[in-house]
Amino acid sequence: MKILANDGLSQTGIKNLEAAGFDVITTTVAQEQLENYINENQIVGLLVRSATQVRKDLIDNCPSLKLIGRGGVGMDNIDVAYAKEKGLHVINTPAASSESVAELVFAHLFGGVRFLYDANRSMPLEGDSKFKQLKKAYAGGSELRGKTLGVIGFGRIGQATAKIALGIGMKVIYYDPFIESAMVKVPFYDGQSVSFSFNSLSKEEVLKSADFITLHVPAQKEYIIGKNEFNIMKNGVGLVNAARGGVIDEVALVDALESGKVSFAGLDVFESEPNPEIKILMHPQISLTPHIGAATGEAQDRIGSELASQIITLLK
């Protein structure tokens, strides 16, 4: 049986699938050629990340398909309900990338409070001629310890982000309409752990109280953060989105940055991805990464292993 990992698969995942008798193909097939490729090669399993779209027409026109797998959490690029209605298995790896995304959130936060997003642009150009001026410009940083992190969406990734925040001495509050309460266990290197219990606040309370806000929600039809939400926030708040493009109104974000309401933003995802707006890309107060939340070797190994395990169970 042939599995097409169209957006790539870790060597661990490939090895596990091949050991179980599957033929794994890692050729990246263009979206418009995907239907023909699947049919010509009698592909039974299609594995994707966020790049490949698996819509109704592809599902209808590829009768050999028995399984669609998403390497990661969000499945907004797959017509999940329709695929299941047609009898296909649809799988993902919701737990595999949580820690990697959470660490990227803090890369943006640590960089934000110390102006690294701007310093790394200015130092190569002016570090030799304006060292003292730059030193003065970036001298007003702050610490994360003792500050309040507001988490919008408290699923696996939101809770993984909370663990890091608690570990460095931050206060954590959250809003999630589906998770009224949660127990978060923070593990340490020596086997010890500390548990914290949380109850969801209202969205307004989180926006009002947080020094920094991070979003961990699926794709939405409407903005989670728009002009009204920015108005509620503290002056000088820091904002990170490593969830999905389109959950923040980027026009309102730029206005909030220009007014000083938001001191900096960290974006791993974009409203017009994969072609982010130039105004976002060029803004001196935005820390930028190209949708790499789950792109660590460790996370990809976990994703590959988890996908392989599910495929072997379902198709063997």
Catalytic positions: 244, 273, 291
User: What is d(CA 87, CA 142) in angstroms, rounded to the nearest whole number?
Assistant: 54
Encoded tokens for 239: 């904002």
Are the CB atoms for 305 and 11 separated by under 8 Å?
Answer: no
Q: Distance between CA atoms of 305 and 316, rounded to whole angstroms?
A: 16
In 3D, which of 56, 42, 32, 61 has the Cα closest to residue 4?
42
* Residue appearing with tokens 């979003």: 215
Separation between Cα atoms, residue 247 and residue 257, nearest integer Å: 17
User: DSSP labels for 169-208?
Assistant: T-EEEEE-TT-SEEEEEEE-TTS-EEEEEEE---HHHHHH
Q: Identify the three-state secondary structure at position 209.
A: helix
Helices H, strands E: what count in the chain?
A: 13, 13
* CA pair distance 211, 15, nearest whole angstrom: 45
The neighbour count for residue 220, using CB atoms within 10 Å, is: 12
Contact 195, 183 (CB under 8 A): yes
* CB neighbours of residue 155 within 10 Å: 19
Q: Which residues neighbour 242 within 8 Å (Cβ) at sequence distance 6 or greater?
A: 101, 104, 105, 108, 214, 215, 216, 266, 268, 269, 293
